[in-house]
Amino acid sequence: ATLAILVSFFIGVLIFMSGLILNSEKVRTYGIGEIYEALATAIIVIMFMLIAAVMMGLIPGLVVGPIDPYNTSLVYINNTISSAENLFTALFNTNMAASFYASFGIDISSVVYASLITGVFSQAILILYVLPAQAIGAVLVQGLLVLHIEFYLILFFMYASIPVFLIPGIIFRALLPTRAMGGMLIAISIGFYLIMPLLFSIAYFFTNTTVLSSLNQETAAINAYGSGANSQANAVSPTSPLVETLGNIQSSMGAFWLSVLFYPALITAATYMAVITIAEFIGGFAHKTAKVGLL
């Protein structure tokens, strides 16, 4: 970053010296403007580094504790992924057993009690537990896909924002033809390195406890009622424990999708608007000003 800023100052000084050599007031004025632009770039980078090093710990610390937004966001998403996977595993295991017993016909054997129960109530098990469990499992799979995308998106920008976007943005902003592109790259680094993880950490504070608690409780209930001898008897009526647990899972899916889809979509939209605004201010506004100075 320091080398890129020095390049910006060097270009401005070079233009200013050319104006002195050519005795051109317009070129000298333009060179002074470029030096000011390099100074503005230096201030932007210094503020970026200051916020990244200090404020990223202090601002979320006022809300969620003394931890940085990246740690908060990634741990939250990872915990949600783990809880959702555990719930999906529990649903899958019990659903496989329920599907097996629900496929039986009527069996009046007095030797195996489970066969008698599941034979008579096989359609009830299928309707009340198997089909709803499959539907919930499909929803969880889609939610897990979204969570993994969010996780690796945050991880990518954590490592790529400075070397891939900020440094080239400083260099491009030093050149008039590419100044708008440089402003956009710097804005992307600011938006996705600072704003997005900070918003995710705030969303973590509002949704983490409720969602994880619900998923863990429902996983424990599925494992408790869906295992052991005659466990399928827990899914033969609307008031059976497994069926009621499915109802609780369906009720908690609203909070799950708020955490998985709504808040990330809102955060992405807010980050996009911030990037566009910052890019216009850093790149577009400076570009227009430079054109006026040339004229």
pLDDT of the chain along its 295 residues, tens only? 777 778 878 888 888 888 888 888 888 888 888 888 888 888 888 888 877 777 666 665 565 555 677 777 888 888 888 888 998 898 888 888 777 766 665 545 444 444 444 455 777 777 888 888 888 888 888 888 988 988 898 889 888 888 889 888 888 887 777 888 888 898 998 888 888 888 887 777 777 777 888 888 888 888 888 776 667 777 778 888 888 888 888 888 877 887 788 888 888 899 999 899 888 887 654 444 444 444 4
Sign of CA dihedral 60, 160, 276, 150: negative
pLDDT at 67: 62
Quote the tokens at residue 18. Answer: 């050319």
Quote the tokens at residue 216. Answer: 């863990």
Q: How many CB atoms lie within 10 A of CB 150?
A: 23
* CA distance between the termini of the chain: 31
Sign of CA dihedral 150, 156, 162, 167: negative
Q: If phi over 0 gives left and psi between -120 and 50 gives alpha, with beta otherwise, what is residue 178?
A: alpha
Cβ–Cβ < 8 Å for 270, 163 = no
Q: Of 1, 12, 11, nearest to 45 (Cα)?
A: 1
Sign of CA dihedral 120, 124, 127, 133: negative
pLDDT at 61: 58
Helices and strands counted in the chain (H then E): 13, 0
pLDDT at 15: 84
Quote the tokens at residue 31. Answer: 């060179």
pLDDT at 244: 86
pLDDT at 292: 41
One-letter identity of residue 152: Y
Q: How many CB atoms lie within 10 A of CB 103?
A: 12
One-letter identity of residue 293: G
pLDDT at 57: 61
Cβ–Cβ < 8 Å for 114, 229 = yes
CA 65 centroid distance within chain: 20
pLDDT at 110: 46
pLDDT at 13: 86
One-letter identity of residue 222: I
